[in-house]
Amino acid sequence: MAARKTAANRYYSGPPSDHFDGALFFNPDGQPPGRFADLLKWQLNGQRSKWPASDASPFPQAKPATRVEGAALEVTMVGHSTLLVQTAGLNILTDPVWSLRASPLSFAGPKRINAPGIAFADLPPIDLVLVSHNHYDHLDLATLKRLKA
């Protein structure tokens, strides 16, 4: 399918691609975009793969040092976007999520299938929390409240 000629996108000045003409995204194979009714039918027909209730990590939970001094650097993967970065005597936590679900609702939304890479009780004192953006899988208010306590 040839890219559609459209007005320029004032928020994007990069080159067009095989699926973006500079203003609009499109399916490169020419297939028209799906309809909302198709999405609902797919969601309601129940023919999706079952998400596992749990999937034990092959890695044991880490027990990080209280501090890492000097130029040394230790980075511990906690989960999806959560990292503990330790350097120069600082403990920095990125996008902390310890909740069971990445959702504003305790009973709905994506559910964690592995325990976090560090148990919350084993966290060292945190000096800085970096939240990259406000999606539920990066900004977990319950965890932020626990960290503040």
CB 79 within 8 Å of CB 111: no
DSSP lists the bridge partners of residue 84 as 76, 93
Concatenating the DSSP letter of every residue in 92-145 gives EEES---SSBSSSSTTSSPBP-S--SB-GGGPPPPSEEE----STTT--HHHHH
d(CA 33, CA 48): 20
What lies within 8 Å, CB to CB, of 22 at 6+ separation is: 6, 8, 9, 12, 15, 16
pLDDT at 139: 92
pLDDT at 3: 43
pLDDT at 21: 81
pLDDT at 99: 95
Q: pLDDT, tens digit, for every residue of 70-122?
A: 999 999 999 999 999 999 999 999 999 999 999 988 898 888 999 999 999 99
pLDDT at 6: 44
pLDDT at 8: 64
